[in-house]
Amino acid sequence: MTKPVMTAQDVHLFYGKKEALKGITMAINWHQITAMIGPSGCGKSTFLRTLNRMNDLIPEVTITGNVSLEGQNIYAPSMDTVQLRKKVGMVFQQPNPFPFSIYDNVVYGLRIAGIHDRLKLDEAVETSLRAAAVWDDVKDKLDQSALALSGGQQQRVCIARVIAVHPEVILLDEPTSALDPISATKVENTLLELREQYTIVIVTHSMHQASRISDQTAFFYQGELIEMDNTKKMFMNPADQKTEDYISGRFG
Amino acid sequence: MDPIAKNLKQRSLSAKIETKGRLITQLCTVLIVLLVLAIFGFIATKGLTLFFHDHGSLWSFFSGTTWSPDKVDSHRQPVIGALPMIVGSFTVTLLAVLVATPFAIAAAIFMTEISPQKGNKILQPVIELLVGIPSVVYGFIGLAVIVPFVQKIAGGSGFGILAGALVLFVMILPTITSMTVDALKAVPRYYREASLALGATRWQTIYKVTLRAGAPGIMTAVIFGMSRAFGEALAVQMVIGNAILMPSSLTSPSTTLTSVLTMNMGNTVMGTTSNDALWTLALLLLLMSLVFNIVIKYLAKRGALS
């Protein structure tokens, strides 16, 4: 059951001359939650953003190595980033719904893909919001601005917005760090349910979060992947001394 | 009393300075507010004289088409039909804004989304320069270039609303552009990222997110441009023909509120009906700029909410 959906081989990333990723090799397994942990500035968010080429937006970034999605190199010149990002969706640290209605937020990805059939859109809104576990909160106010929601609701609407375009992989960049604990728990439960249908990669600052929800965990330190393993094994019995120090709170 | 208690009970030097500073700033603020109120009061009393003292009728002011305030009609009321210049003012303003807005938005998109480097290096200084050119220079260029051009294309004298609108278009383009640039720059980066991460192309992101999120700011820019166009006097006066007639076409000589004011203010005697009538035009201009300002404030408030 654990076949890789995405693989990275010897990925180096430079901001100008500074090397932010120093040869990352990892496999992201199908329908699992992969957590990336590590101290600030260790490169985990940067690596996450190489998986859907969001780093392309930053000038002076050079990337070497190979990242592939279902065997296809996503950095090949023939790769269409628009198609790639439909397959590899992303949820950001700050809840960032558009300043539109909740409905318009969720169907944004569908509309830009050229789907305008009202029935299809209505259906997508309900299934996506249900999948993101926020349907009951917002079903009566779909035409209200998404900015009027609480932070946790906003973040789950953002997750619904990604789900609506049916990606294969969902990347989440510290999705709960701007939320209160109760909202964070709701988002976590949402992710656990989504694992049935999606492959999830999550960057998190919270070791507890990683241990609670992920199947495998990767520990980044200073641009290197120190250790990656089954989450249980990694938290109970880490192979590397640095990993043990970090997860036991001795630094970071 | 021991020195420590004395020290504590006295106001410190910095507290005294703070009181003084607050007094000075409050005084200045009050002065400015008084000044504005005085201007308003003055123009209002002067402008309303036409209706209260000279028995002008408000209805004929807004609906009449003949303007000769020194004469009286059969009801012994002064002939003060200001409709031609009101229509003239609004037409040049709307035309100029209608033409300028698409250009301004396109330029702003180029400067913020497509090529920020070139935008900042080349377009930004050009636009700042355009803002700084005195209006008489614009009018002169209009007189020398646009009027003959309109004459060649549309016939007639070339003077008229079209020439006025074209001159205003060039004058308000930089204003609208730079304010639209500010509006687009204020759209947070994470909206663009979210859109791109959902598989939107760059154009879809600009069109569906950036422009939409920046819409209140862009509207403010447009209204600001309108307010500038409406109040511009010299450049328009030089190319519009200054005939106080209902404009029959875009190329027939006509006039605006500001043009009538600048053309006639030296030719009337204080206290006469003709002079009072000019004050009424000034009052109308002031009220219009007030309206524009209120609309801008309203839009800014709505933008801040969303």
Q: How far is C-alpha B175 from the geometric centre of its chain's CA atoms?
A: 10
Helical (H) or strand (E) element with B104: helix B83-109
Q: How far is C-alpha A211 from the geometric centre of its chain's CA atoms?
A: 16
pTM of the predicted structure, to 2 decimals: 0.82
Output the average pLDDT for chain A: 90
- The CATH number linked to A178 is 3.40.50.300
DSSP type of residue B169: H
Cβ-based neighbour number of residue B1 at 10 Å = 7
B-interface mutation test, from A79, A82, A128, most B Cβ less than 10 A away: A82
Question: Is the CB of B186 inside 8 Å of chain A's CB atoms?
Answer: no
- Residue A252 pLDDT greater than 70, yes or no: no
Q: How many CB pairs under 8 A join A and B?
A: 66
Q: B83-305 has which fold?
A: MetI-like fold (1.10.3720)
Q: List, for residues A198-228, the tens digit of each pLDDT value.
A: 999 999 988 889 999 999 999 999 999 999 9
- Residue A218 in contact with residue A225, Cβ under 8 Å? yes
Into how many domains does chain A fold? 1
Q: How far is C-alpha A179 from the geometric centre of its chain's CA atoms?
A: 16
ipTM: 0.87
In chain A, the percentage of residues whose pLDDT exceeds 90 is 62
Task: Tell me the average pLDDT across A88-117.
Answer: 92
What pLDDT score does B303 carry?
67
- Residue A250 pLDDT greater than 80, yes or no: no
Task: Tell me the average pLDDT across A156-175.
Answer: 93
In angstroms, the separation between the Cα of residue B97 and the nearest Cα of chain A is 27
Question: Is the CB of A98 inside 8 Å of chain B's CB atoms?
Answer: yes
Q: Which residues of chain B have pLDDT under 50?
A: none
> What range defines the domain where residue A47 resides?
4-247
Q: Give the gyration radius of chain A's Cα atoms.
A: 18
Q: Which long-range contacts (CB under 8 A, 24 or more apart) does B243-248 make?
A: B244/B67, B244/B84, B244/B85, B245/B65, B245/B84, B246/B65, B246/B83, B246/B84, B246/B87, B247/B84, B247/B87, B247/B88, B247/B91, B247/B160, B247/B161
Lookup result for tokens 């500001």: B258
Task: Count CA atoms within 13 Å of residue B153 on its CB side.
Answer: 11
Taking Cα atoms as reference points, which of B296, B178, B287, B163 lies closest to residue B231? Answer: B287
